Structure 1
Amino acid sequence: MGLSTRAIIMLMALASPPVFAAPDAMRGFQRDDARYANLRAMETRGTALFENDDFDKAMGPATRDVWHQLVAAASRVKVNGLPHPLAAVATINLASMDQIEGKNPQALAMAEKGLAMLAPFRDAYPIPWMQGLSIKGYIQSINGDVATGAQTLAEGSAYADRHFAQVDPKTLDKSDYMLKSNIAFSLAQAYSRLGRNSDAVEAQKRSMDARITGLGPHDPDTVASYYTYAQMLLRADRNAEAERYARQAVEVATAHIDTKHPSYARALEMLGILLSRTGRRVESLAYLQRAIAIKRETVGTKSLYFHYGLNNLGAILLPLERYADAEPLYIEAEKGFRAVEGEASPQAARALAFLGLIDQASGRPDEAATKLETALARVRAATTQDRDMGQRVYPHLIPVLLDLQQQDKAAAAARDYAAETAALDNSPAFALANAAMMQRWADGDPSRTAAAAQLAALLRDEQNLRDDGELADEQRAALDSILAIAADSQDAALALDAMAILAGSKIAQANRLVTERLVSDPALGERVRALQDKVRALQTADRALLRALATAGDVTATRSARDRLDAEVNGLRAAISRDYPRWAEARGGVKPDLAQVQAGLGKDEALLAVTPAFGHVYLLAISRTGARVERAAMSRAAMVALVDRLRATMTPGGMDLPAAHALYGQIFTPAILATLGKAHVLRIVPTGAFASLPFALLPERPVAAVDRDTPWLIRRYALAVQPSFAMEADKRPMQVAASRFLGVGAPMPFPAVANATPAPTLMAANQYFRGSAADDEALSHLPPLPGSADEVRGVASRYGAQGATLMLGEAASESALRALDLSTYGVILFATHGLVSGQMEGVTEPALVLSPPAPGATGEDGLLTASEVAAMRIGADWVILSACNTAAGDSAQAPAYSGLAQAFRYAGAGSLLVSHWPVRDDASAFVTLETVKGAERGLPRAVALQRAMLKLMRSSRPGAAQPYIWAPFILVGR
């Protein structure tokens, strides 16, 4: 018999394998023997009930009664001394019902019993035979015996191939093809869990082909095979093919499938997953959220489909560090999977593992260890062959166990991780290097720093391949481990390398469209593609070397091949960096050298990097003669919460002073301060959430209230912010006679749109874009800037009528700006809204808001984007972005300064003066003027800003002592 559509769908949702046995001879048995007509009639009656479109009736007691009656009747009829095979068929159907209802122990026992009875007659009943093996294999798999399940599935799939090749296709119906497809599908799932990704792709291709043949290319179940094939291709790192099939699934679903069909939502979901894996996570959220909404309405919240959707949405939120949003999704999914699949459900274990990952990232190591160990144990009850779970759990579990000082458990887990990774058929070089590092780290091996350095090199190479610089969870966790090893061994060079990769990720994210514009140069584009091809070859060589080391292979030959490719990659990379330094800097992929960083520091300068990794925050202090690496005592989550709290409480009347001092204590530890020594100028490289922290307002000791003598950090250090570790000296001060001023501000507001949807006054930056252009309706909600014209005029007054050019109101337009030769101005001030916050990806990028274009104008939209800025030629020593951070939506994932300040530097600007939040017009004009004047007198730029801020504090201006007034200003760059 064939399964009902509903039953088939549920079996597919289980995403697990079937198993098969070898038949004996049937000894002349004939299915249509007239003596067995009454048994065949009972089978027909049971099949009609089981295939009822009403699921409750199909699974009701009447159906079970018929199958039990057939078992009893057929068992009394002997064929060659054995019970009639319809007793086995009925038993397998009972097993199927038990499986669908989640009664896995009963289902497994029933399936094994039915298969044993049917074995001598399997070629007479091939479909029930395959069905029984499918049930058996599925349950073996979720019980953790994946290797055995895969072996049985492989036998069953081969049996199905032989059977379908021998019979007349006209005798086969849709359910037969579906069963063949499901066997191959389940085999693919088993192979995937074993890490045999190439075999999984091949098996899923057979599953897809069976559905196309049996159901046609537009059937909903065929669409399901498209997106599942895309998933397997993705796991095999065949991203381009994966996206093609995912898009095909959405296109066919949109054209041919009702939105209420599960395959419609799953197609949207798979494309969302693909987009997220290729660095377009925010874009992918829309697909996944829509898919969940459809599932909630169509299949309900107790469906496995619904819980898969929750799992997938959580997987998108995790890399965005939206842990609070992801956690309830995984909690609900974990419970849902267990309710249907039982305690050994691999999907429930995965959801639990993700909850452990969230605990680790949130600074809860005890809870993380419990969840990660439990997740691993659930799928290891019967075997240790579920390597997919090990690859997911071990890289997080081992560091957590070491944090908890459970050295023996960590070492045992590390050995298992290394052994299982070496056994994978297509282990990426990253996984092999990570496993090797973890084992040496857990064992306390002195060579752990060398292993960590090799892993960092692999991560840097991977970053050079990706256009968006996005780091996956496992990569950020690996960098956290590298930094922990660096701190433990005081290897400052290793810490510098890992921190540069993390900072470079943010830079690359912020500048994706900038680098796209730069690489449009055909000569550069060709060289970049050549570099990427060579990096891929190096990754393959790295994988071969690491596998040889893990398995005692030919290390000498593989090392020689790897070293040759490494030299070629470094040569290509150095040549591009030399010939196209703006592209290299925008990518953030240049490896810093500790000695060069130290040599680049002035005699009274030091550098401090504050880097949140995965679960922790790391500090690196560098002076001209020494360096110190530390891990902050607080977790990453706790420190980011302090930054958020400080920003949220910042008002003209005060701020959260305890939070500010707590941050000071975590960052400026005694050892860090000792390393910084007597430096007067402190260069800071902040990453992630710390890019939004105004370090100047951190008090050096606890204070109850703000006054003119509060011991702010700005009193001790003149501060300059660097997005990266590239060291640059101050340019020579401007010659006043040669300087000219350009002021752009007070743009005309975007006109209100008729019947516009009400929107908050300030939104995240990406909400001001629609498609590839500005969203006029969203921009019309931006508040006016009434004081910005006065601010521009106040600064301009210093340069006189002949030395200043003003673009105010309607004149503050893209077309007018492009008509100017910007290389002739020494100081450029933008007093306008800046869209720099929120998740900037896809077609959106940081931008300055100018006046809306005139009706009918082409080539402009009222936004000066970062990629447009980067293409300009600017000769200004100073670019001032006043009140640039006026759009809401700061987050831990927001790239450092959103790339807008960096874009001005790529265009040729010297230093940038940027504000963290909108500031009072008189304060902005004061700080701007005093800083520029100080620099003109020959002061280092950071010192000029420091003195301007201190002078503002001492002034008689209302509220000037409050950090809200003086603290938002930062110097970026030289």
Structure 2
Amino acid sequence: MLFSARAGAFLLALAGPALLPAAAAPPPAFRTDDPRYARLYALEDKADALFESDDYALSMSQKTRDAWTALETAASHNKVQGQAHPLAGVALINLSSMDQIDGRNPDALAHADRSLALLAPFRDAYPIYWMQGLSIKGYVQVTLNQIGAGGETLAEASRYIDGYFARTDPKALDESAMMLKSNIAFAHAQALSRLGRNSEAVEAQRRSMEARVAASGQNSADAVGAYYMYAQMLSRADRDAEAEIYARLAVDTATDHVDRKHPNYARALEALGLLLSRTGRRSESLAYLERSIAIKRETSGTKSLAFDFALQNLGNLLLPLERYDEAEPLFLEAERGFRDIEGDTSPQSARALAFAGVAAFAQGRRDEAIGRLQTALARGRTGSAEDRDMGQRVYPFLIPALIQAGRMDEARAAAADFDRETRQLDNLPGFAIANAGMLSAWANGGDSVDAACRLIALLRTSLSLQEDGALTEDQRAALDSVLAIATQARDAGLGMDAMALLAGSGIVQANHLVAQRMVDDPALGNRVRALQDRTRALQSADSLLLQALARDEGVAAARASRAALAKQVDADRTAIAHDFPRWLEARGGALPDLASLQANLAADEALLAVTPAFDGVYILAVSRERTTIIRAQETRADLVGRIARLRASLSATGFDQEGAHILYTQIFTPDVQAALGKAQRLRVVPTGAFAALPFAMLPQRPVQHIDRNTPWLIRRYALRIDSGFRPVVAQKLAAQDDRMLGIGAPLPFSQETQAIALKQRGGGAATLAQLPPLPGSAEELRSVARYFGPDHARLLIGANASEAILRTSDLRPYSVMLFATHGLVGGQMEGLDEPALLLSPPDTDSGNDGILTASEVTQMRIGADWVILSACNTAAGSSAQAPTYSGLAQAFRYAGAGALLVSHWPVRDDAGTFITVETVKANRRGAYRGVALQRAMLKLIRSGKPDAVQPYVWAPFILVGQ
């Protein structure tokens, strides 16, 4: 046997990395078919037949081990020029392979060392076995955390196999040789990646892919594996656009040519899912990963590395969605699985445990998180201090946790290690350098504010390059640290900068499709790409400046270079913002300035920002005279849980009054109330889960019974929701000659019209016929129209409430638009990955499906100063978990709308009509919109309508924008 197919298949799942002394060529007299050793050849054939058996249990049985041991013993007693016959080394290599597959890595390493020593004098007579031995040794060394040594072993294997291929007739290079070359390159790539040598790792992975495709064909299951592994390595090197090409190639090839029960089919789905997640398409990503796990559960079972990796990958997707309680058990199950297979020093188990620590930290269990993170770090360092990847995963969470726990000696030591290890990476990780510097300054009592400002500047640069604006978990943790530093220093400006990045990231993610469609315009697209090129140069300059500061060398030159690039980027961004303001909004808006914000606040107006970062929740209060920034006493997890329970409690018979008041006390502390002063109008900038909280229904005092006099926050403030920190612009009051367009009361879908929509959407409209009618929507539209008069109101009702009519109408003359129809949340139906409004069904296959999506809204040109979406869930974002300021509300903003009136949850028909009519009436009489909505809510509470005092009736309505 020249190569074990079983070992070769296993090696594709490796993550690999010892230089052996050069061996002399075998003596000329040695022959591999010398008839004097026929008994040894027979023993080899017997062992090989057992090892290659289709019966996996037999191939890995003690009987097979005994057969290889018999060969090793016999070969050791047969001397070739004074040394054991090389088949003794061959036998030990196969025993090493069996040990490796069984997870007995110390035994595997011992057998590999002995085999290579025996085979060294004859390596050119047994080149495949020589290279197989090196590859096994390198992999096991990496598994045992001897990363540098393993990398050298695999580099030696790579050099040898390149020489072997160069001197061998191509016709003699069979599939097994090509597969071995692929496996060696693969394991080497993994080792290089763990050493932080990402560029070299990509090149090694490319060689692995090319060899595997050459061996098996471009449409084989092995080729699928090669494609997705190369995609994953490109992604690690931040080359996502190239990575997606190969990930999609893997899925397309698997779909067309590979049995769905083959493990690589599921792995290809998983790889593409992970890439979609990295580029902000998380709803699609979840579907791919969940489908992949289901296939793995059915085919390979739960006792495999493939299944453990799948669990970990799904957990990693749930982390940025803030679904930490769902992610944590996945990581813990994966950790146990990795340890069972690879042993207690398994690097993958250490990573899974680190992620479980991150999830615990985000859920407020700081001590438990510290224990897991320290254990993961120690496990990753067993036998080696070179696994820098582990430190990059652990330190950004461990150091803040230690500081907040008051364990300063441990924090300082960890910060020093983080700083030292980060500087040893080869890819100039500007963010990691800045984060390490900030955490070191914080732990050591240095100028942490200045260090935090540098990190903020760097994050602004890097996030402006990302199409989806998604923050990684270590970036979120870093912003939590910035907010903690700002709170300690009472620096509201620094705190607002961090909050703006968190809010802006949410906006960009929610409106990824919006921004993408805008850039399709060549006039804008060319300028945006030029800006991105300059921003990348600025990012590199940031990294170089941080390194110069760390070395205290060349600081002035690096600072000047960075300043010149920053000036050019700012000028380009300002010019694009002037010419394409809607694109700037889609990308998160202009950078905030605290002084300008304060100066533009009205005398009776204040701003409140509530930001859940990673571990904590921070509150910023700004009035014309004062500012303050505080951290809530309860953890992020506790407060997010309270919001979820409060939302779930809303009904005619129940309301979590105690929880609602606790939320009020956590946000409106004495310091915050003092900063807000006597303001009567309050702008609220909520992010994360707080964007789903109707602040109006927070009681200012404990309440035992809800009645018309309950002290809700809406009695204290007229509220409006903002997506960011843009300076206030004076609001235009309603004019009597304003024009109104009303669209609603659409015709119901039938099975026939549903089929038309289903065909046009490619799936997803299958439940439209089950939606209930809206009997009060036509009267609501007519009631509002009366306040504008017949000459200033146009109504599109019934069959006229269609996409076709709406698309062909000039929408610019209308100052107010009112939609009274069903609102659909992204993900509510298959194929609908963004929120939408339901219009009348199409009667022909015309291209209009009756579903007006958020991205379709952005293509409109709207002149309305106010858009009222009197429909269920219109405050919802691009998915059920997305923030309020995304989705339909923001889509209408980008289409040109000013303010919006939307709802947090399904509204009662009569309540929706009442709020809409009364708000419009008050506004028409001269009240600011926020005040008009406040009066409408209070009037509904006092109206005597059934259950009108209950928050589920009056509280879902919010005003977004001014």
Query: Aligned to 1:630, what secondary structure does the other structure show?
Result: strand
Instruction: State the partner residue of 2:900.
Output: 912
> Hey, what's the Cα distance between the residues in 1 that align with 2:459 and 2:435?
10
> Hey, what's the Cα distance between the residues in 2 that align with 1:879 and 1:132?
70
Larger displacement relative to structure 2 (849-858 or 717-726) = 849-858
> Hey, what's the Cα distance between the residues in 2 that align with 1:62 and 1:150?
34
Larger displacement relative to structure 2 (891-900 or 803-812) = 891-900
> Hey, what's the Cα distance between the residues in 2 that align with 1:951 and 1:343?
66
> Hey, what's the Cα distance between the residues in 2 that align with 1:235 and 1:284?
17
- The verdict on how the C-alpha distance between 1:4 and 1:310 changes in structure 2, with shifts beyond 3 A counting, is same
Larger displacement relative to structure 2 (824-833 or 616-625) = 824-833
Q: Please show how residues 162-241 of structure 1 align to structure 2 within 5 Å.
A: 162-241=163-242
> Hey, what's the Cα distance between the residues in 1 that align with 2:183 and 2:828?
40
Instruction: State the partner residue of 2:294.
Output: 293
Query: Aligned to 1:684, what secondary structure does the other structure show?
Result: strand
| Superposition deviation, residue 5 in structure 1 | 2.6
- The verdict on how the C-alpha distance between 1:755 and 1:743 changes in structure 2, with shifts beyond 3 A counting, is closer
> Hey, what's the Cα distance between the residues in 1 that align with 2:605 and 2:551?
49
- Pick one of 928, 938, 941 that aligns with 1:950: 938
> Hey, what's the Cα distance between the residues in 1 that align with 2:191 and 2:355?
20
> Hey, what's the Cα distance between the residues in 2 that align with 1:310 and 1:780?
37
- The answer to whether the Cα contact below 8 Å between 1:683 and 1:720 also exists between their aligned partners in 2 is yes
- The verdict on how the C-alpha distance between 1:30 and 1:4 changes in structure 2, with shifts beyond 3 A counting, is closer
Matched, 1:453 2:453: yes
> Hey, what's the Cα distance between the residues in 1 that align with 2:484 and 2:891?
33
- The answer to whether the Cα contact below 8 Å between 2:722 and 2:885 also exists between their aligned partners in 1 is no
Query: Aligned to 1:970, what secondary structure does the other structure show?
Result: strand
Instruction: State the partner residue of 2:914.
Output: 926
**Letter of the structure 2 residue corresponding to residue 43 of structure 1:** E
- The answer to whether the Cα contact below 8 Å between 1:487 and 1:495 also exists between their aligned partners in 2 is yes
| Superposition deviation, residue 484 in structure 1 | 1.5
Instruction: State the partner residue of 1:630.
Output: 630
- 1:712-756 per-position Cα deviation (integer Å, ceiling 9, x unaligned): 1111111111111113334332222x1333222211122136999
Instruction: State the partner residue of 1:358.
Output: 359
- The verdict on how the C-alpha distance between 1:713 and 1:122 changes in structure 2, with shifts beyond 3 A counting, is same
| Superposition deviation, residue 570 in structure 1 | 0.7
- The answer to whether the Cα contact below 8 Å between 2:195 and 2:386 also exists between their aligned partners in 1 is yes
Matched, 1:740 2:739: yes
| Superposition deviation, residue 552 in structure 1 | 4.7
> Hey, what's the Cα distance between the residues in 2 that align with 1:622 and 1:773?
48
Instruction: State the partner residue of 2:958.
Output: 970
> Hey, what's the Cα distance between the residues in 1 that align with 2:115 and 2:807?
79
> Hey, what's the Cα distance between the residues in 1 that align with 2:419 and 2:832?
41
- The verdict on how the C-alpha distance between 1:944 and 1:577 changes in structure 2, with shifts beyond 3 A counting, is same
- 1:678-721 per-position Cα deviation (integer Å, ceiling 9, x unaligned): 11111101112111111011011111110122111111111111
> Hey, what's the Cα distance between the residues in 2 that align with 1:754 and 1:835?
18
What is the RMSD computed on CA atoms of the aligned residues?
2.4
| Superposition deviation, residue 146 in structure 1 | 0.4
Matched, 1:441 2:442: yes
Q: Please show how residues 128-527 of structure 1 align to structure 2 within 5 Å.
A: 128-446=129-447, 448-527=448-527
> Hey, what's the Cα distance between the residues in 2 that align with 1:57 and 1:80?
36
Instruction: State the partner residue of 1:751.
Output: 750
**Letter of the structure 1 residue corresponding to residue 262 of structure 2:** H
- The verdict on how the C-alpha distance between 1:257 and 1:776 changes in structure 2, with shifts beyond 3 A counting, is closer
| Superposition deviation, residue 826 in structure 1 | 3.4
Query: Aligned to 2:818, what secondary structure does the other structure show?
Result: strand
- The verdict on how the C-alpha distance between 1:735 and 1:224 changes in structure 2, with shifts beyond 3 A counting, is closer
Task: Give the TM-score, by structure 1 length.
Answer: 0.94
| Superposition deviation, residue 437 in structure 1 | 1.6
- The answer to whether the Cα contact below 8 Å between 1:834 and 1:887 also exists between their aligned partners in 2 is no
Instruction: State the partner residue of 1:556.
Output: 556
Matched, 1:779 2:768: yes
Task: Give the TM-score, by structure 2 length.
Answer: 0.95
Larger displacement relative to structure 2 (795-804 or 154-163) = 795-804
Matched, 1:814 2:803: yes
Matched, 1:846 2:829: no
Instruction: State the partner residue of 2:537.
Output: 537
**Letter of the structure 2 residue corresponding to residue 412 of structure 1:** A
> Hey, what's the Cα distance between the residues in 1 that align with 2:769 and 2:468?
30
- The verdict on how the C-alpha distance between 1:164 and 1:518 changes in structure 2, with shifts beyond 3 A counting, is closer
Q: Please show how residues 518-917 of structure 1 align to structure 2 within 5 Å.
A: 518-736=518-736, 738-752=737-751, 775-836=764-825, 844-858=833-847, 860-885=848-873, 893-917=881-905
> Hey, what's the Cα distance between the residues in 1 that align with 2:19 and 2:258?
32
- The answer to whether the Cα contact below 8 Å between 1:698 and 1:713 also exists between their aligned partners in 2 is yes
Larger displacement relative to structure 2 (82-91 or 904-913) = 904-913
> Hey, what's the Cα distance between the residues in 1 that align with 2:727 and 2:887?
18
- The answer to whether the Cα contact below 8 Å between 1:20 and 1:137 also exists between their aligned partners in 2 is no
- 1:525-563 per-position Cα deviation (integer Å, ceiling 9, x unaligned): 221111111111111222222233334553333322222
> Hey, what's the Cα distance between the residues in 1 that align with 2:940 and 2:922?
14
- The verdict on how the C-alpha distance between 1:718 and 1:889 changes in structure 2, with shifts beyond 3 A counting, is closer
- 1:153-178 per-position Cα deviation (integer Å, ceiling 9, x unaligned): 11121112112222233434322222
- The answer to whether the Cα contact below 8 Å between 1:181 and 1:208 also exists between their aligned partners in 2 is yes
| Superposition deviation, residue 12 in structure 1 | 2.2
Larger displacement relative to structure 2 (375-384 or 542-551) = 542-551
- 1:209-265 per-position Cα deviation (integer Å, ceiling 9, x unaligned): 322333333332233222211111111122222122222222332333222222222
Higher relative contact order (Cα pairs below 8 Å, separated by 6+ residues)? 1
> Hey, what's the Cα distance between the residues in 1 that align with 2:134 and 2:516?
52
| Superposition deviation, residue 926 in structure 1 | 2.8
- The verdict on how the C-alpha distance between 1:827 and 1:201 changes in structure 2, with shifts beyond 3 A counting, is closer
- 1:51-101 per-position Cα deviation (integer Å, ceiling 9, x unaligned): 222222222222222221122212222223222222222122212211211
Number of paired residues? 960
| Superposition deviation, residue 890 in structure 1 | 9.5
- The answer to whether the Cα contact below 8 Å between 2:43 and 2:67 also exists between their aligned partners in 1 is yes
- 1:573-605 per-position Cα deviation (integer Å, ceiling 9, x unaligned): 111112222221222142100011101110011
Query: Aligned to 1:957, what secondary structure does the other structure show?
Result: coil
| Superposition deviation, residue 673 in structure 1 | 1.0
> Hey, what's the Cα distance between the residues in 2 that align with 1:864 and 1:257?
38
> Hey, what's the Cα distance between the residues in 2 that align with 1:753 and 1:302?
48
> Hey, what's the Cα distance between the residues in 1 that align with 2:952 and 2:182?
64
| Superposition deviation, residue 43 in structure 1 | 1.7
Larger displacement relative to structure 2 (197-206 or 163-172) = 163-172
- The verdict on how the C-alpha distance between 1:120 and 1:866 changes in structure 2, with shifts beyond 3 A counting, is same
Larger displacement relative to structure 2 (73-82 or 674-683) = 73-82
> Hey, what's the Cα distance between the residues in 1 that align with 2:817 and 2:863?
10
- 1:4-40 per-position Cα deviation (integer Å, ceiling 9, x unaligned): 3333222322333386553245344333333222222
Larger displacement relative to structure 2 (582-591 or 545-554) = 545-554
- The answer to whether the Cα contact below 8 Å between 1:20 and 1:156 also exists between their aligned partners in 2 is no
| Superposition deviation, residue 650 in structure 1 | 0.8
> Hey, what's the Cα distance between the residues in 2 that align with 1:570 and 1:839?
40
**Letter of the structure 2 residue corresponding to residue 728 of structure 1:** V
| Superposition deviation, residue 881 in structure 1 | 1.2
Query: Aligned to 2:751, what secondary structure does the other structure show?
Result: coil
> Hey, what's the Cα distance between the residues in 2 that align with 1:841 and 1:463?
31
| Superposition deviation, residue 888 in structure 1 | 8.7
Q: Please show how residues 929-940 of structure 1 align to structure 2 within 5 Å.
A: 929-940=917-928
> Hey, what's the Cα distance between the residues in 2 that align with 1:426 and 1:843?
40
> Hey, what's the Cα distance between the residues in 2 that align with 1:114 and 1:641?
58
- The answer to whether the Cα contact below 8 Å between 1:746 and 1:832 also exists between their aligned partners in 2 is yes
Larger displacement relative to structure 2 (30-39 or 309-318) = 30-39
